Amino acid sequence: MLFLAAFGRFLNRRRLPGTARADAALVFGMGVEWKARARIGTAAELFHRGVVRHLVVSGGVPVDGVTEAERFRRALVAAGVPDRHISLEDQASNTAENCTLSLAVLRRHGCRSVVLVMSDFEGIRAHLTARKAWRGAGMEIFDCHAPSPGHWTPHGWWLSREGWYWTWHTVSRLFRYRLLPHLWRS
């Protein structure tokens, strides 16, 4: 069980900036509704705690007549984040595109440090995808992933069928997208 818990912590990579705040948080598109709520809550908390100065929401998939990015922007404004502190990337349809297409938005705002906001079990995949997409761009990457209570937990994911499902979902993509070599590349 110790190995399984350690593996859960590996998937849910977490690292926040020390005493300085990061320039921005990149909030990845939603997938399913419970993921969206968790990511919005995590992003709003990072902003309100002063961990980040700006939010970039990324996602071009239509949801209820608007893009994921616009839906997230509206929810973040409703959560008290001033609209001027939110930028949209509304073309991406997957994690790789979230990273690639958001780089121009991050640069436009002078960002050099970014906190990634993805679901906890997808934390390592988001980190490695960003590292791959931003190689040589000079971005410092931090991680603060949204919790998935009732769906997945790093300390007990193996105790439920859904926990196994989401873990396999992430691990298979680490191989399919050839992300593992980026563990060792800076």
pLDDT in tens, 105-134: 999 999 999 999 999 999 999 999 999 999
Mean pLDDT for the stretch of residues 161-179 = 94
Please give the pLDDT value at position 109. 95
Q: Give CA–CA dist 125/134, Å, rounded.
A: 14
pLDDT, tens only, 126-137: 999 999 999 999
Which CATH superfamily, name and number, covers 12-150? Answer: HUPs (3.40.50.620)
Beta bridge partners, 119, equal 146
Average pLDDT value for residue range 148-164: 95
pTM: 0.94
Mean pLDDT over 62-69 rounds to: 93
